[in-house]
Amino acid sequence: MKAKIILWKNNKLKDGTHPIKVRITSTVDGKTHQKYIPVNVSSSLAQWDNKTSRVNSKHPNAAAVNRKISKIQFDYENQLIENNNIDLRGYKNISFLDYYEDILINIKEKRSAGFYLSHQSIKNKFKAFNPNLKFENFTVRTIRDYETHLLGIGNSSNTIHNNLKRIKYIVQQAVKDGLIEYTKNPFLHHKSEKNETKKTRLAFEKIKEIENLKLEKNSSLWNTRNYWMFSFYCGGIRFADLCRLKASNCADGRLIYTMNKTTKHRNILLTNQAQSILRFYKSKSVKLLFPILTDIPTDKFEELAAISSRNTIANKNLKKLALMIESPIKLSFHSSRHSFADYAKESGLDIHTIKELLGHEKISTTEIYMKSFYKEQTDDAMKAMFKTS
């Protein structure tokens, strides 16, 4: 029996790379049998060195990937030396956190920086709970004990739900890789609770008050007010997308861009209100539509850090603006999106139109946005019917 690391050229992934696998070759009764075990990393043909069975310096994570390959090869060769056999299920010899770390290499390379960092944080949190967990010991009881642990360190039910959502993602990857049998996936028998969160939004009358505030031109408050209002008048643009907008995204009275979060294409009419805001910035920004950043960093982690720091400043300014109009609501930039959804509903738009204006992929996402609106609407109806105060 032999174990060799290979590039699986029979399958090309969406990003153009090929999976790296362990090929197990055995001879039984004079016949050769081969099985292939995925290792959760990939490489392009140009990044792969057939002689060494390693990635070359062209791979963006060459050092980390090669360390992983070396470790995997060492582990399988040891199994052959000790037993002349390999447990192809693998899970008895693999720790959950080691596998998590392997998956993180792929996530870092192919997913957003935010998705990677959230997984990194949750992996570290799980490590504090159970650093030596093996896949064969990962049960429904493990999930329940982890929930108890998270409650003990003060996590809310929604934070716990999000933690388990990430852990579930890793377990599902393990099922796909054959490390856990489908029927033994502990998440098949567990469901975490998530409380409804109230969407922060501002009534249109209060939005007009913010719009009419007398602020010092070119001040930080003035700019933040303009960014928030532009987002509102353009269907609730997310802050990260606003930061990335270029002058070329505006053409023939329309705003055309791709949402970073969902990669959904948006083509929005620039209303008179939105165009009046743009007039303040057209001559001030060379590369970007708004001077929130001087440039977009090419490294996705640097980009995330830059956008997050500006978002923090914007949210602080929005809290000041809320105080200036004597609003009890603590505004954030994302509230422009919720406020737009509510105003669209009040204006008589149906939920399918609102879905398209917000750029949602699914109608269920829009329904979550509108849930609190419908609740208040039905409360008002009941009060009117029975003259309740």
* 109, two tokens: 């390379």
Q: Measuring CA to CA, which residue among 218, 210, 251 is closest to residue 336?
A: 210
Whether 33 maps to a domain, the answer reads: no
Q: Cα–Cα distances in Å, from 235 out to 331, 355, 359?
A: 17, 10, 8
Whether 149 and 229 share a structural domain? no
Distance between CA atoms of residues 22 and 34, nearest Å: 10
| Whether residue 261 sits in one domain with residue 173 | no
Q: Which helix (H) or strand (E) holds 43?
A: strand 31-43
In-domain check, residue 350 = yes
CATH at residue 188:
1.10.150.130
Q: How far apart are CA 123 and CA 234, in angstroms?
A: 37
Beta bridge partners of 43: 18
Same domain as 335, residue 281:
yes
- Classify burial at 196, counting beta carbons within 10 Å of its beta carbon; exposed 0-12, middle 13-18, buried 19 or more: exposed
- Please tell me whether residues 141 and 285 are part of one structural domain: no
Alpha carbons 219 and 193: distance in angstroms, whole number = 44
Q: What is the C-alpha to C-alpha distance for residues 201 and 338, in angstroms, rounded to an integer?
A: 5
CATH number of the domain encompassing residue 346: 1.10.443.10
Give the span between the Cα atoms of 376 and 287, in whole angstroms: 43
Total structural domains in the chain?
2
Chain center to CA of 127: 21
pLDDT of residue 223: 96
CA–CA separation, 94 and 173 (whole Å): 14
Task: Scan for tokens 């950043």, then name that residue.
Answer: 293
Phi, psi of 131 (to 5 degrees): -75, -15
State how far Cα 317 lies from the chain centre. Answer: 26
Query: Are residues 276 and 172 part of one domain?
Result: no
Q: Among the three residues 144, 167, 195, which one is the final residue of a domain in this structure?
A: 195
Last residue of a domain, one of 178, 195, 212: 195
For residue 336, the enclosing domain spans 204-386
pLDDT at 184: 85
- Quick check: is 273 in a domain? yes
Cα–Cα dist 308/301, whole Å: 10
Question: Residues 243, 322: one domain?
Answer: yes
Say if 63 falls within a structural domain.
no
Of 122, 102, 86, 74, nearest to 174 by C-alpha is 102
Does 303 share its domain with 233?
yes
Q: Give the C-alpha separation, 120 to 111, whole Å.
A: 13
pLDDT of residue 373: 61
Same domain, 189 and 249: no
Inside any domain, residue 133: yes
pLDDT along the chain (389 residues), means of 10: 81 82 73 71 91 91 88 77 54 73 82 91 94 88 94 92 94 79 87 75 91 95 96 94 92 91 88 93 75 90 94 96 91 90 86 83 76 62 63
**220-233 vs 300-324: helix crossing angle, rounded to 10:** 100
What angle is formed at CA 45 by the lines to CA 41 and CA 47, rounded to 5 degrees? Answer: 65
Domain end point (choices 195, 212, 240):
195
Are 189 and 325 members of one domain?
no
Buried b (16+ CB within 10 A) or exposed e, 215-224: beeeeebbbb
**Nearest by Cα to 7 from 17, 16, 20:** 20
What integer pLDDT is reported at residue 191 of this predicted model? 85
| Angle separating helix axes 140-152 and 113-129, nearest 10 degrees | 90
Indicate whether 219 and 314 sit together in one domain: yes
**pLDDT score recorded for residue 108:** 84
Shared domain check, 276 and 184: no
Claim to verify: residue 253 and residue 104 sit in the same structural domain: no
Residue 322: the pLDDT is: 94
The reply to whether 7 falls in a domain is no
Assigned domain for 374 exists? yes
Distance (Å, whole) CA 375 – CA 385: 15
Q: What pLDDT sits at residue 92?
A: 47
What Cα–Cα distance (Å) separates residue 178 from each residue in 133, 269, 380?
18, 49, 54
Cα–Cα nearest to 6, from 58, 41, 33: 41
The pairing of beta strand 48-49 with beta strand 54-55: antiparallel
CB 55, CB 48: distance < 8 Å: yes
83: in domain: no
CB-based contact 108:299 (threshold 8 Å): no
DSSP state letter for 248: G
- What is the Cα–Cα distance from 58 to 46, expressed in whole angstroms? 8
Element containing residue 35 per DSSP (H, E)? strand 31-43
